[in-house]
Structure 1
Amino acid sequence: MTTRALILTSSILGENGQSIALARYFQDRAAEREGLEVSHRDLVADDLPHLTQPELASWQVPPEKRSAEQREMAARSDDLIRELLDHDVVVLAVPLYNLGVPSQLKAWFDRVMRSGQTFQYTEKGPQGLIEGKRAVILAARGGQYAGTPMDSQTPHLKGMLGLIGISEVDVVYAEGLAKGEAHREAALKEAKQAIDSLVPRL
């Protein structure tokens, strides 16, 4: 049985980004595991625009009644949701920018968190509609925030994933990367060891 993983990268530093390095390491380890296929979407290269009211409104129009412009706008969300559904695991390689997620990643979430498609409102609150999938967060940070009140990123990511029904989330941290070469190398080594342990279990 084949497991399909979708890696999403969002570092504006490109090949110099440490989150990119973690994603690349994950992909290399995945290539060694039989039955695990990996796809990659670079959200910086894709350059999704910020969500606007006209695009949001296009989702509410029945497909057969959409104008050409509405079809083009709605296709962004439709295609990203279809891609997500086609994979078993979503791997988020995420740098920490100003205690939050990159705006490029937020633009992706804004299009896959779609009422009536990936979650719905009920009398008991929102309910995720995506079932049987899991997520991996590869978090690269210059400082050390995990487990502290300053780490607003981890609960934000888990909350957005949970809203659409993905509650099984593994987090790999590489922290303190700006604290000197020795600290950076030790942190990356620990993160890579965590990836080594995680990949066979996907």
Structure 2
Amino acid sequence: MAPTESSLLLPSGSGRSNKKEASGDKWDLAYIVYFTLGLGYLLPWNAFITAVDYFAYLYPDASVDRIFAVVYMLIGLIGIFLIILFSHKSHAFVRINVGLLLFVISLLAVPLIDAFYVKGRVGLYKGFYATTAAVALSGVADALVQGSIVGSAGELPERYMQAVIAGTAGSGIASY
């Protein structure tokens, strides 16, 4: 039987079946972990962007949605670039854990800023700058976590990358 063109594109020994027994994930625990990690690394961004109406109310002279997007994406791009350059000097599990800690800090900073400084008052732009810094910190965390999770899932069978992407999609739903 002659090989088909699509089978020539696959690496040798790569089977199309992703049976649970072949991966050793009998109870789908690794799948659930990768799904949860995919859910977790985009959830902070969704939290910031979902609350953009609140921030636009507090800071009416700022284009909050545009500033948040530019800061988050630019910091994330620079961070991912640096991780690519220096990934051989660190381990993925360290980057993931540091990134998750930075996510927690950035998400806790905003309600603390509001509770102790802004207190719902409109026009306190030092609070906006601090919130933008929290968005930037979240962008750094996203670069650390997303790059490491996608990279580690890419070394495993395809179903784990699917779990990460499904978790990412689920974070958009979970934030509403």
State the TM bucket, normalised to the shorter chain.
Answer: under 0.3
Higher relative contact order (CA 8 A, sep 6+): 2
Larger of the two Rg values belongs to structure? 2
* Structure number having the greater helix percentage: 2
When normalised by structure 1's length, the TM-score is 0.25
TM-score calculated relative to the size of structure 2? 0.28
More strand by share: 1
